[in-house]
Amino acid sequence: MYPVWEVPGLTAGGVLALIATFHILPSHLSVSAMWLNLYLENKAYREERPDLLEFVRKYSRMLLIFAYVFGSITGVGIWFSASAAAPRALSGLIHNYVWGWATEWCFFLIEVAGIFTYYYTFDKVDRKTHLRIGWIFALGSWTTMVVIVGILTFMLTPGRWLVTGGFFDGFFNQTYWPQLFLRTTGMFAIAASYAVAVASRFKDDRTRADVVRIASVWGLAGLVLGTACFFWYRASLPEAARATFDVLLTPGLKKGMCVPIGLMAAYFAFLRRRPLAVGFTPALAAIAVLFVSIFSFERARELIRKPYLMPQFMYSNQIIGGELPAKGVASETAAMNEKGLLRFAPFVPDGLREVTDANRLEAGRMVALIECSACHTLSPKGLRPLPQRVAALGFTDAESMAAFIDGLGSYPFMPPFVGTETEKKALAAYLVSISK
């Protein structure tokens, strides 16, 4: 365990979530754009339409610059922020899926080499070869998703891995196929919205209208099939995750998921009829709308992982609360309850390892930082602020607060309290002190 990364107002996980959401736009674009490109390039050759080819070239350039600059930077950003926010969980993932990531990395190399080769060989190789390069890129980049989805879904539904510890037992789990299809279909809405933005800068009305019409059909199909896959995904969730999903899905989040999808569907339907009606700025605004919806879906996906980072054994605060015999992992809660969390955690200032009358509040804050700050801010504003949550429950004395802390584990989405009686009282005293 590393020192806690406290991010006022946001939590460390919040930083990771923002970077990860931003990563989805370029990453899903890179996976989907080439399919649209291949369709249009084929059409351009078949109908001898150099203007369409010009669009394909411009769209590829946007893909190359946007997806491979921002996609790569945010991809690295995910690793950086995850390793600071949850080093223990990341280490657990790497120890299980290092060959998964190595495989993904090989396909990512094909992808990067592929997009440069594709873009710079326009008119330099014959048509058939150029299309083949496009196919290699499209399949290579989609394969990165095929691999990553296995690891992503494993984090929620590890399946038989919990018993066997086997790579593929965790990889092909119950939510794997629905989520792969959800991303594989939904990604075309992203490709389409970028295509509309690129096309909106074309002076020639015929090219612009043709591309926008085609893109709007792809976008609509992506939204409709993606929505169907979402319900398939939801049905594939384990009972507990579905219950958490229903409890924690706030009206705001629900709106964040539904409204943008509705707006985007209306947008594509409108474009199908009036392909020239939307200029560059509204097209960018549509991409922002899509961003809101992705952010909401990813937040919902994160919510239902609670209270775990590593399914069934590592809590969101990185305390190991379950046994995993297949991997030789033993729960550490008994030792922490006996010796004390503050003794156990490696990065605690020396003066705080023992709770005394003089340092009670400070030690209580340390306990809150280690155990609660993965999901709650300690400041009055921000993500699920503890001062506000405690005040809302009306606890004004440390005794009743401590009794509440005893029952934390009965919430399906919060880990139980871990630590000694003295540490619990210190936490309670601290929580009451900040909620006044």
- Residue found under tokens 């008994």: 334
- For 8-74, the DSSP string reads TTT-HHHHHHHHHHHHHHHHHHHHHHHHHHHHHHHHHHHTT-HHHHHHHHHHHHHIIIIIIIIHHHH
- Nearer residue to ligand HEC within complex by CB, 27 or 318: 318
- Nearer residue to ligand HEC within complex by CB, 127 or 384: 384
- In the complex, what is the shortest distance from the CB of residue 306 to ligand HEC, in angstroms, rounded to a whole number? 4
- Nearer residue to ligand HEC within complex by CB, 56 or 309: 309
- In the complex, what is the shortest distance from the CB of residue 294 to ligand HEC, in angstroms, rounded to a whole number? 21
- Nearer residue to ligand HEC within complex by CB, 71 or 364: 364
- In the complex, what is the shortest distance from the CB of residue 341 to ligand HEC, in angstroms, rounded to a whole number? 10
Q: CA 419, CA 366: separation in Å to the nearest integer?
A: 12
Q: CA 332, CA 315: separation in Å to the nearest integer?
A: 11
- Residue found under tokens 């945010």: 74
Q: Which residues contact 303 (CB under 8 A, 6 or more apart)?
A: 244, 245, 248, 249, 253, 413
- Nearer residue to ligand HEC within complex by CB, 111 or 423: 423
Tokens of residue 311, six digits:
């399914």
- In the complex, what is the shortest distance from the CB of residue 315 to ligand HEC, in angstroms, rounded to a whole number? 7
- Nearer residue to ligand HEC within complex by CB, 219 or 307: 307
- Nearer residue to ligand HEC within complex by CB, 136 or 391: 391
Binding residues for ligand HEC, per CB under 6 A?
A: 248, 306-307, 316-317, 371-372, 374-376, 384, 389-390, 393, 405, 408, 413-415, 417, 431
399-415: burial string, b at 16+ Cβ within 10 Å, e else = eebbeebeeeeeeebbb
- In the complex, what is the shortest distance from the CB of residue 169 to ligand HEC, in angstroms, rounded to a whole number? 25
Tokens of residue 403, six digits:
């009794």
CA distances from residue 143 to 6, 104, 116, 179 in whole angstroms, order as listed: 36, 7, 18, 14
- In the complex, what is the shortest distance from the CB of residue 216 to ligand HEC, in angstroms, rounded to a whole number? 38
- In the complex, what is the shortest distance from the CB of residue 409 to ligand HEC, in angstroms, rounded to a whole number? 10
- 3-state DSSP: the chain helix, strand, coil percent, rounded to 5? 75, 0, 25
- Nearer residue to ligand HEC within complex by CB, 220 or 390: 390
Tokens of residue 43, six digits:
């059409």
Contacts 24+ apart (CB under 8 A), 173-178: 174/236, 174/238, 175/233, 175/236, 175/237, 176/149, 176/150, 177/236, 178/229, 178/232, 178/233, 178/235, 178/236
